[in-house]
Amino acid sequence: MTGNAQSGDALADALVRAGEALRQTAARLSRVEMAVGEVLMQSGDAGASHFADLQQLDLSTQEVSALAEFIDRLGRRTPHEVTIDLTSAAQPIPLHDLATFLGRRPSPLESQAEDDIFF
């Protein structure tokens, strides 16, 4: 990190994008939770352990949402003069669309509909 805004990307913007990525993840988790709950109810084979697992999924969704808010607030309170090399910071992320979104290069992630299904 550096104080020279010309040598990298604003850390504040990167944090806000990370918060947005986490919000999108939380929304997907919520949809999965609802779908799994429906399948369990329809299967007639829903035991207590399944519902405990569903509660863990719900807790994970809430934690991701809380982390999204926390990171977003950090980003909004970070001075724009603080910069970071986003290219190297995003390198270890194995998901190309996520790394691209966080590195702020044009990304298919931004144009995808929320209901896209991949097989």
Mean pLDDT of the chain: 81
pLDDT of residue 113: 45
pTM: 0.74
- Report the Cα 30 to chain-centroid distance in Å: 12
- Does residue 32 belong to any structural domain of this protein? yes
- What is the count of structural domains for the chain? 1
- Does residue 34 belong to any structural domain of this protein? yes
- Does residue 117 belong to any structural domain of this protein? no
- Does residue 116 belong to any structural domain of this protein? no
Q: Mean pLDDT across the stretch 58-81? A: 96
Which carries the bigger pLDDT value, residue 95 or residue 55? 55
* Residue-range definition of the domain harbouring residue 60: 5-111
- Does residue 119 belong to any structural domain of this protein? no
- Does residue 118 belong to any structural domain of this protein? no
Which carries the bigger pLDDT value, residue 5 or residue 91? 91
Q: Would you say 83 and 1 are in contact if contact means Cβ atoms under 8 Å apart? A: yes
pLDDT of residue 4 exceeding 90: no
Residue with tokens 């604003």: 10
